[in-house]
Amino acid sequence: MISKIVKNVDMLVGNEEDLQKGLGIEGQDVESKTALDPDSFFNMIERAVTKFPNVKMVATTLREVHSTNRHDWAAVLWYDGKRYVSPTISLDVVDRIGGGDGFAAGLIYGMLAGKEPEQALRLGWAHGALLTTFPGDTTMAKLPEVEQLAKVGSARVQR
């Protein structure tokens, strides 16, 4: 069913498990994966866009969970055949629910605002990261905070 829908879209945002289980794309065992590995996701993306040639953009967050409240966070974007990788940041997570949605919102905002793909990726990466530092799954981040984190790539953000 999902494959029928994906034949009509040009953008996918999801994780490795989404591509594997939802779209039948071969990839690394997500259960045994321990380190953030952008190349493993880009390899899956190549297989996905071969299967769904209408897709022009695929993005995901990469999360290495050290403990409930300590995560390494990164993101990748494949846009029209080009690869983009965010910085990796260590997060003190308050609530991990919503980080991926926050990433998607920031990425989509960046693309709709006419930002270059790398900048849009960094806006999504920063917004998703900040969202995990708030209680609940709705953002309390202001645009200048997201832009500052996206620019400097460091958790030393002025609030």
pLDDT tens, position by position, 10-46:
999 988 888 888 888 887 665 555 567 899 889 989 9
Band of the pLDDT at 147, cuts 50, 70, 90? very high
Burial category of 81 from C-beta neighbours within 10 Å (exposed 0-12, middle 13-18, buried 19 and up): exposed
Q: Where are the domains of the chain?
A: 2-152
| Cβ–Cβ < 8 Å for 38, 59 | no
Using alpha carbons, select from 57, 48, 59 the residue that is nearest to residue 25: 48
- CATH number, span 2-152: 3.40.1190.20
How far apart CA 142 and CA 145 sit, in angstroms, is 5
- Supply φ then ψ for residue 136, to 5 degrees: 85, 175
Q: What is the pLDDT of residue 157?
A: 45
In the predicted model, what is the mean pLDDT of the chain?
89
SS3 content of the chain, % helix, strand, coil (to 5): 40, 20, 40
pLDDT tens, position by position, 93-114:
998 888 999 999 999 999 999 9
